[in-house]
Chains A and B, each alone.
Chain A
Amino acid sequence: MASANSNKAFLTGYRVYVFAFFVFMAAPLVAAGSFAFNDSLFPSLPWQGFTFDWFFNDTEPKLGMFHDRRLLRGLYYSFVIATCVSILSVFVGTCNSFLFVRCQFPGKDFFYILMVLPLVIPGVILGISILLLASSLANGLEETLSLELEFLRPGIILVVLGQFSFITTITSLVIIARLRKFDDSMEEAAFNLGASRVRVLRTITLPFLFPAMAAAGIVAFLVSFENFNTTLFLVGSEAPLTITMYDRMVKVGSTPVLNAVSFFLMVGSALLALISVLVQRDAPKT
């Protein structure tokens, strides 16, 4: 009896801990989001009343995010970068999945480790190493051939390459996991029915992989959108949103417009995450 009671007390304590943990997880997000609706010039208490000004107002000092040129430009650059990164990394990730699941070649285990490696290299290091290589290359070409290659200087292309360098590992792992579940007899059946290689790939294998490719693409998009460490070293004049926000936070001091952006981003990523869950759920069970 006593042990049952202490068990119950333990379980209750356990539940309280779990609850407290989720409050801890939610607290900063709630704080970052809710002050977007505070009718005040500072993102702090006391609560001055509800407003949408930090989204839609078009005059200083309460310039809303949808009228703030620099923030909008940052959003646009982030979008362009994330789109490029997700297309590229899903493409290479799909190639990698066929390479590592279907092909046999010497040194495969070693190459697999190489593929996983970028995930455990700190983002800052990836950023500086790519910056160093690109800049040395650009300087060398300029001195020897007096060739000015703009894309090797910090800018959108380097940011895309930097993010691509580690996001590809994520997309590869997601797509490889799915291709491993593929039932080879489906392809064999199609071959037996006289289908060509290309046709089998197009009508059977790729449709099977599609949910994983879509999910990987969404993850890549989100990771790229919120990346800061790698981007910081490679960014040129076209700063994506995280860099713009950081600059404003550190140099100008925060106004609730940053909360409005935070809220907007949180809602956006929640929607994308939901889509990625739905896409994978619709996949036929295997």
Chain B
Amino acid sequence: MRATDIKRLSLYLLFAPFALWILLLILLPHAGMMYISLREKVAPRVYEFGFENYINFFNEPIYWNTLIRTGSMSLLVTFLALLLGFPIAYYIAKIAGNRSRGALFLMCLIPLWVSDLIRAFGWILLLRETGVISSSLQWVGLIGTPIEFLYNDAAVIMGLVYTVILFMIVPLVSTLDGMDKSLIEAGYNLGGNGPTVLRRIIIPYAMPGIVAGCIVVFMLTAGSYLTPILLGGKNSSWFTEQIYDQFITRYNWESGAAFGFLLLAFTSIAVWLGLKLSGQTLNSTVADT
């Protein structure tokens, strides 16, 4: 009798911090945000229930264009990160020697320990008109006048890929690490060439890692704020910038909340679609990395 009591008591005690955390900092704030997003301002301090904030969003092309732009650029960044990161992950997991593997893996993680801000700052120093690349090219004589590499979409995409690629590499390395090299050899022995082995054996095996990496990278990119603003300048039109604008500059909390909810819904649907299409679950991917 006493043992079960103790068990129950400890369950409650352990559940309390978890419940407080999730309820007060995650569920309630999001419920509140939803509630506020469904308020219409009829007069100062007088509100009515309605969908006006969402209707406004769809009536104003600038708003939904920004969301579509953010979404499609995030997809592109995710794809590029996978394309560029996969060979690196494969190299670390399967080709590098035991000694260099750890070192290479650590090198991939270094940017993780450095703030986004510093990384973006570094790119600014390299890419701007008076930056390192422009002046080096001038010094070599390839260009006559300084060139501005910043404040365009290419710079934003590159900066984002740079920021998020390690979140692609880490899960890929951990899945590829578990793959037996004999699987690849068997593929070759059965007459497959490089591309076939990659397509039929390596990629299916790495699928959980690919999905996990893509989800995290997509969420991080779509929700990023610093990199698009610092590298893209005034016309980066990233959706998080719109949210910030509604909240802080215009002080329009109702429509800011609606925008926030739209971003959340958009990214959630994208993640859900990705999971469905690849037959994975949230637990099996994100939690394991």
A residues with a Cβ closer than 8 A to B are 14, 17-18, 21-22, 24-32, 35, 42-46, 91-92, 95-96, 98-99, 103, 105, 109, 111-126, 128-133, 136, 161-162, 164-165, 168, 173, 197, 222, 225-226, 228-229, 232-233, 242, 245-246, 249, 254, 258-259, 262, 265-266, 269-270, 272-273
Contact = CB atoms under 8 A, between A and B. Distances in A.
A139 B30 CA distance: 18
A142 to B, nearest CB: 13
A123 B223 contact: yes
Contact of B84 (A21, A32, A42): A21
B113 A270 contact: yes
A98 B119 CA distance: 37
B143 interface: no
A35 B125 contact: yes
A228 B115 contact: yes
A98 B53 CA distance: 43
Given A105-B15, A258-B121, A228 B116 contact: yes
Nearest to A121: B264
B260 A29 contact: no
27 contacts: A18-B87, A25-B110, A27-B122, A28-B123, A29-B119, A32-B118, A98-B14, A112-B287, A115-B22, A117-B26, A121-B26, A122-B222, A122-B223, A122-B267, A124-B223, A124-B260, A128-B243, A129-B260, A130-B25, A133-B29, A133-B32, A133-B33, A168-B21, A233-B244, A246-B226, A262-B122, A273-B113
B107 A25 contact: yes
Contacts of A26: 107, 110
* Chain A interface SS verdict (over half): helix
A132 B29 contact: yes
Given A161-B25, A249-B121, A232 B260 contact: no
Interface string B95-130: 100000000100111110111111111111110101
B132 interface: yes
B2 to A, nearest CB: 11
Interface string B1-42: 000001000110111011001100111111011001000000
Contacts of B13: 95
Contact of A29 (B18, B122, B240, B282): B122
Interface residues of B, number: 77
A96 B260 CA distance: 29
Given A18-B87, A18-B91, A116-B287, A92 B132 contact: no
A29 B114 contact: yes
Given A119-B286, A129-B30, 16 more contacts: A25-B162, A29-B110, A29-B114, A44-B130, A44-B135, A91-B17, A95-B14, A98-B14, A99-B15, A115-B22, A120-B219, A164-B25, A228-B115, A232-B225, A262-B122, A272-B113
A44 B126 CA distance: 9
B181 to A, nearest CB: 16
A196 to B, nearest CB: 11
A5 B271 CA distance: 43
B18 A265 contact: no
Given A44-B130, A45-B135, A103-B14, A242 B29 contact: no
Contacts of A14: 87, 91, 95
Contacts of B28: 133
Interface in B255-282: 256-257, 260, 263-264, 267, 271, 282
B211 to A, nearest CB: 13
B88 interface: yes
A228 to B, nearest CB: 5
Q: Which 7 A-B pairs have the closest CB atoms?
A: A122-B223, A28-B122, A226-B115, A129-B29, A32-B122, A165-B25, A269-B113
